[in-house]
A = this chain, B = another copy of it.
Amino acid sequence: MVKLVWQKGLQFLVQDGRNHTIVVDTEKEFGGLDEGFRPMDLLLVSLAGCMGMDIVGILKKKGGKIDTFEIVVNGERAPDHPRRYTKISIAFKCEGDYKREDLLRSFELSRDKYCSVVATLKDAPKLEFVI
C-alpha cells in the first residue's frame, strides 16, 4: 500500500506502509516545484531497482564479491500524448571479484524469472479505480 497526499502545485508527499516517505513532483514549466522525483522517472527506478536487487543478491549467493555496482537507465518516449515509454535502456556496471558467467546468469534469472517489475511490464495488471 502506498498513500499520496497532495501538498502544493503538483507535488505529493508519499508514504509506503513501512514509515518511508518521498516527494514526487515535476518540472516548473509543467506547474511543479521541482522538489522531487517525477513519476515517469520512478517507473525507471522501479524497474532498475528490482533487477539490481535480484542481480546483487544472486551474484552474492554464487560467491561473487561486489565492489561497485551501478545502473543507468534511460527511457525513450513517444512524441505525442500520452507520451508512453517506447523503449527503456538499462546499463549495468559491476566491478569486483566474480565470474563473468555468474553475472550474466544472475541478470538472466532476474529478467526471465524473478523480477516482478519486468513481469508486470510484460503482462499488464488490471487497473481498478475508485473516485
Contacts and interface: CB of A to CB of B under 8 A. Distances in A.
Interface string A18-45: 1010111011001110111111111111
Contacts of A41: 2, 16
Task: Give chain A's interface secondary structure class.
Answer: mixed
A124 B125 contact: no
Given A45-B14, A49-B14, A127 B90 contact: yes
A128 to B, nearest CB: 4
The count of identical subunits is 2
A69 to B, nearest CB: 4
Contact of A39 (B5, B37, B50, B130): B50
A111 B51 CA distance: 28
Q: Which of A23, A103, A130 has the most CB of B within 10 A?
A: A130
A72 B1 contact: yes
A10 B57 contact: yes
A22 B45 contact: yes
27 contacts: A1-B72, A2-B72, A3-B70, A3-B71, A3-B72, A3-B73, A4-B48, A5-B68, A10-B53, A12-B53, A18-B27, A30-B57, A31-B57, A39-B46, A40-B116, A42-B46, A82-B114, A82-B115, A84-B116, A84-B125, A85-B120, A86-B125, A88-B126, A88-B127, A111-B127, A121-B121, A121-B127
